[in-house]
Structure 1
Amino acid sequence: MAEKKKHKKAKGKRGGAHAVQRPAASERWEVVIYPWTTVRKATRTQPRTPLGDDEGYVYLIESTDVGYVKIGWSRTPEARLGQLQTGSLPDLRLLAAIRGERKLEGQLHTWFADRRLDGEWFLFREGEDAVELAMEATAAVFQGWEPD
């Protein structure tokens, strides 16, 4: 696993979101963490720089009743939360959005394959922090990790 690195947190304007930036290889990347956001309290992600054609966010959305976590990709994760909530009885909440290309989603699916329930839904072990683990996995990917 990738080594933990210190990171800076800057409190967002609304919703308690925090933007986290860490250096990885020769580039910087952006993570938005939503500590309590549900579809009714979602805030709009404001990228620090405009998104490129293939860029968006790998998001982590949690089903609050059982703790399952969906790892998906969208250009607008808050809108995706609303779409998923429409077809879901339990409340869903957006845990984090990691800026990156669509292929990052597949790399995280591979990284967490032992936790996969079905499709894009994963179950993290008791005591595991899905956001922290996703940030560590993303750092490893950006530093050159490739699936076997």
Structure 2
Amino acid sequence: MIEPIERIQKVPNRNPDRTFIYFVRSGEFIKIGQSRRWKQRVETMQVGSPHTLIVMLVLKDEPKLEGKLHNWFRADHFRGEWFHSGPALLAYIKKRLPECVSKSDECELKKPTDWDDL
């Protein structure tokens, strides 16, 4: 017998206060964003972008980190969630690479190999 929909339990979110914070490069700009489904978000952004998007870093952290990052890099702010790829922002991304979730089972990410070309 099939159980009524009211009795089916949803799978709980293991970390309801955590999300993915992503850094995506498009031309000379880097977007700092957040999403629980970062891959789908990047795919959606790619459809409307004339540049090939490069995912530089994906972190799993608290959603409020995104706002802190926007504030920290406000000197490089361009528009919305987009920032100029200045030295401070690139240094932050390099520093946090060991924490990138690309090596986990949560996502697969190809990292840039030559930072001088970025």
TM-score, with length taken from structure 1 = 0.51
Contact (CA 8 Å) 2:56, 2:93: kept in 1 or not?
no
- In structure 2, which of residues 15, 22, 30 is the aligned counterpart of residue 69 of structure 1? 30
Determine if the alignment matches structure 1 residue 104 to structure 2 residue 65.
yes
User: Which consecutive residues of structure 2, in runs of 5 or more, have no partner in the other structure?
Assistant: 1-12, 97-118
- 2:116 corresponds in structure 1 to none
Higher-Rg member (1/2): 2
Would you tell me which structure has more helix in proportion to its own residues?
A: 2
State the distance in 1 between where 2:45 and 2:84 align.
Answer: 18
Would you say how many aligned residue pairs link Structure 1 and Structure 2?
Answer: 84
State the distance in 1 between where 2:22 and 2:74 align.
Answer: 16
Aligned pair in 2 of structure 1 residues 71, 51: CA closer, same or farther (>3 Å)?
farther
Percent of aligned positions that are identical: 31
Contact (CA 8 Å) 1:96, 1:131: kept in 2 or not?
no
Alpha-carbon shift at residue 105 of structure 1 (Å): 0.2
Contact (CA 8 Å) 1:108, 1:134: kept in 2 or not?
no
C-alpha RMSD of the superposition: 2.2
User: Which consecutive residues of structure 1, in runs of 5 or more, have no partner in the other structure?
Assistant: 1-49, 138-148
Determine if the alignment matches structure 1 residue 52 to structure 2 residue 15.
yes
Would you tell me which structure has more strand in proportion to its own residues?
A: 1
